C-alpha cells in the first residue's frame, strides 16, 4: 500500500503572504497558488516534518474548537504511517475508522473505495489521501 499524510492551510490567493509567514515560522513545507482559481495552499507532506514540527506545535498550543478531536485522530494516523502500519491491509483497516471521524469523512467513504485498486500480484491502495488524511485547518 502507498500513502502520504499532509497538513494543509488553504486561503484565498490574496492572502498568500500569510501562508509564506506560516511557512517561515514552521521552517517546513511549501506554498503554492493554484492557476485555475484564487486559492493558495501551505502544505507539509513529509512525515518527519509533521512529527517533529507540526504535531508538537499543536500539542503545545491546542486548537480550541471541534478541530482538536480531528487533529488528535490525524496525529494517531500520522504516527501509524510513520511506523509503516498503513502498508498492509491489516494496518490499513486499523487506520480506516480514524478517517471515519475526521472532517466528516464517513460521508465521503464511497469516493475512497472508488479509488481503491487491487492488482493480482500485490495489493496497492491508491487513495484520495487529500480527503483521507489532509487535516484542513
CATH topology of domain 7-136: Endonuclease I-creI (3.10.28)
The size of the chain, in residues, is 137
Q: How confident is the model at residue 36 (pLDDT cuts 50, 70, 90)?
A: very high
The burial of 86, by beta-carbon neighbours within 10 Å (0-12 exposed, 13-18 middle, 19 or more buried), is given as buried
Half-sphere exposure of 27 (CA within 13 A, CB side): 5
* Averaged pLDDT for residues 82-93: 81
The DSSP secondary-structure symbol of 134 reads -
The burial of 10, by beta-carbon neighbours within 10 Å (0-12 exposed, 13-18 middle, 19 or more buried), is given as middle
Flag whether the pTM goes above 0.75.
no
In the three-class reduction of DSSP (H, G, I as helix; E, B as strand; rest coil), residue 63 is classed as coil
Amino acid at each position: 500500500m502507498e500513502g502520504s499524510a499532509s497538513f494543509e492551510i488553504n486561503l484565498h490567493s490574496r492572502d498568500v503572504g500569510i501562508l509564506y509567514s506560516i511557512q517561515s515560522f514552521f521552517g517546513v513545507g511549501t506554498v503554492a497558488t493554484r492557476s485555475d482559481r484564487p486559492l493558495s495552499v501551505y502544505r507539509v507532506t513529509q512525515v518527519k516534518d509533521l512529527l517533529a514540527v507540526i504535531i508538537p506545535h499543536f500539542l503545545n498550543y491546542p486548537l480550541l474548537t471541534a478541530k482538536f478531536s480531528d487533529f488528535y485522530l490525524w496525529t494517531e494516523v500520522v504516527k501509524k504511517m510513520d511506523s509503516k502500519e498503513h502498508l498492509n491491509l491489516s494496518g490499513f483497516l486499523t487506520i480506516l475508522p480514524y478517517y471515519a471521524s475526521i472532517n466528516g469523512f464517513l460521508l465521503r467513504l464511497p469516493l475512497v473505495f472508488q479509488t481503491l485498486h487491487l492488482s493480482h500480484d500485490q495489493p496497492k491502495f491508491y487513495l484520495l489521501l487529500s480527503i483521507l488524511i489532509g487535516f484542513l485547518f
